Amino acid sequence: MATGFPGRELGFGLPGPLPRAGSGGLLKRPVSEMERLQQLQLQQQKQLQQAMFLRSVKQRTLLASSVSSHLSTPALQDPVLGSSVSLATSNLVASGFLRRPGMSSETRPSAELRDGLQELERRLLSDDDEEPISASGSAVTTAEWSETMRQLVATPTPLAAVSGPKQLSPTPTNSSSSTVSSSASSSPPSSSAAPAGASLRKMLLDAAAAVADGKLETAAGILAVLKRTANYKGDAEQRLTAMMVAVLFARLNPAPPTVSSSIAEVCGAEHLAASQMLYEVSPCFKLGLMAANLGILETTKDRSQIHILDFDIGHGGQYAALLHALADRHRLRPAVPPPALRITAVADPASPFSSNDTGGTLRAVGDRIQKLAKRHNLAIRFGIIHRRPDELDAASLGCEPDETLAVNLSFALARVPDESVSPANPRDELLRRVRALRPRVVTLVEQEINTNTASFAGRFAAVCAHYGALLQSLDATAARDSGDRTRVEAALARRAVNAVAREGADRLERCEVFGKWRARMGMAGFEPLQLGRPVVDALKNRLNAIRPNPGFTLDEDSGRLGFGWKGHVLTVTSTWR
């Protein structure tokens, strides 16, 4: 029975040992049979030539290479034959269609292998063009795949440019390198139309899963489609796509494992300045800090001396609102003198977020705060302390007995390493030291997202959902072409890269969800402090004052206030004692 592959039964065109005379082989057959076999051989040659012509028209590279392998395949050293044989010969030997000397029928490979080769040849000679394959099961050749990966990984990510957003350059779609393997677990759409928002999210998650599983071919195929939609100047979904594609680029092409590269990402002056802008342009961040201020004011309203320890003062924007609130309260109660306020900025000299600051930035922040306090006729002192968490105590911080102590940890703890990074666990050590100071109130503000202990795929999904909601909320409060928004989103992109693409000590910002913060605070000896109804009502009034207000939400749950967009909580404020 013919197999569909010309010359297989006769070993046509294949080097190999001829049957010996007298062995019942070819040389003992009668002349008539020889003529019949020669005619069959000529007929099969014609069939082979026709097949080669059809495959060349269809440009099936694999068939051409398979047929021509009889003459052009690089030689391999066969350990049994002891000589160089072509790859095609070696394959047929392995499949049982060509014997090695001394190879018995019992040692031939199984029928399963022969059936596999028949199936491969059937697909090669088939007229169906729907599934072009290569020897590896993919339409992408090694050279094409290497070039695609080089282009994807070498594409400059927009993170380095904070002067303005850049659209990712599209990947050509007329190359077979954009085709995902037919054996891949998922295939990106090949249509040139831009995918919808939900489809973009799914494609992003599929790409991240492929990267996590080491399926780089699948990931690159999806990225080639996503790059056509990614746009730092587009709508929220296009901006998110650009951001998360940059995250995947960073994961596929990681920087050398040095903390200095991570410091450049999220500890530079421009990044810190843009992060402060985020606290102004995003109501969720701004209201989170406002809730912390109101928590301090509520718990210290009858105190004449207030000392605030701040472990991440930034540019001091939070205290502009605090001083304004103190001035307003004094105007409403002129008979009650305003408290004497003292603010101490605490910086860890071992932290990359403060190690590059020799005091100049913090002194400039203190000068601005003091000038603002003077404008409101408020008495204030500002100080700077450089101490590691294990060096903190009342004496080193200059705490005085008659002061009412408040500790502000707004967006601070996520930047302190925990037990997953350092055996010393500076995060819990800091909380224990703060607890020993016996403050009247501790305020905690953090993003509601787990970028600490989650896996790469888990962090990617969490950041995708979190930043997707955040970017949508910015559409309600900032113009898309705003220069400040451009800088803010560039900072968000750097954060996303560091939180998702980096591992170990290189991942500097490690956020946790409120449930984990609550457990951590409880283990350190703190108890939750419920904010009063006047504070919550004031925050709701401020939230309702945002025009338009299509989706900002305030969620009260388990002693914390969650600020979000359309039900997705972005920041959480809680108070402790």
As a whole number, mean pLDDT of residues 249-276 equals: 82
Using CA atoms, how far apart are residues 379 and 55, in angstroms rounded to an integer? 88
Confidence band, pLDDT 50/70/90 cuts, at residue 354 = confident
DSSP string, 516-546: HHHHHHHHTT--B-PPPHHHHHHHHHHHHTS
Indicate if the pLDDT at residue 555 is higher than 80: yes
Report DSSP state, residue 498: I
Indicate if the pLDDT at residue 34 is higher than 90: no
CA distances from 138 to 51, 144, 224, 337, 576 (A): 22, 11, 16, 78, 58
Backbone angles phi, psi at 334, to 5 degrees: -65, -20
Query: Given this model, what pLDDT does residue 547 score?
Result: 66
* CA 27, 28, 33, 37 torsion-angle sign: negative
Report which of residues 89 and 434 the model is more confident about. 434
Whether residue 563 contacts residue 287, with contact meaning beta carbons closer than 8 Å, is answered with: yes
Backbone angles phi, psi at 432, to 5 degrees: -65, -40
State what percent of residues in the chain have pLDDT above 90: 58
Report DSSP state, residue 214: T
Q: Strands 84-85 and 76-77: what pairing?
A: antiparallel
Which of the given ranges, 95-99, 134-138, 171-175, 316-320, has the highest pLDDT on average?
316-320
Confidence band, pLDDT 50/70/90 cuts, at residue 239 = very high
List the Cα angle 292/294/295 in 5-degree steps: 60
Indicate if the pLDDT at residue 135 is higher than 80: no
Mean pLDDT of the chain: 76
Query: Given this model, what pLDDT does residue 193 score?
Result: 54
State what percent of residues in the chain have pLDDT above 70: 63
Query: Given this model, what pLDDT does residue 91 score?
Result: 39
A 10 A CB-CB count for 518 gives 20
Task: Name the pTM for this structure.
Answer: 0.68
Q: Name the packing angle between helices 514-523 and 426-436 (round to 10°).
A: 60
Using CA atoms, how far apart are residues 370 and 79, in angstroms rounded to an integer? 85
As a whole number, mean pLDDT of residues 244-256 equals: 89
Query: Given this model, what pLDDT does residue 63 score?
Result: 36
Query: Given this model, what pLDDT does residue 360 score?
Result: 78
| C-alpha Rg value of the chain to the nearest Å | 35
Indicate if the pLDDT at residue 69 is higher than 90: no
Max CA distance (Å), the chain: 128
Query: Given this model, what pLDDT does residue 45 score?
Result: 61
pLDDT tens, position by position, 509-547:
999 999 999 999 999 999 999 999 999 999 999 988 886
Using CA atoms, how far apart are residues 511 and 453, in angstroms rounded to an integer? 9
pLDDT tens, position by position, 435-473:
999 999 999 999 999 999 999 999 999 999 999 999 999
Using CA atoms, how far apart are residues 226 and 327, in angstroms rounded to an integer? 51
Burial of 448 (0-12, 13-18, 19+ CB in 10 A): buried
Single-letter amino acid code for the residue at 526: F
pLDDT tens, position by position, 480-512:
999 999 999 999 999 999 999 999 999 999 999
Report which of residues 145 and 356 the model is more confident about. 356
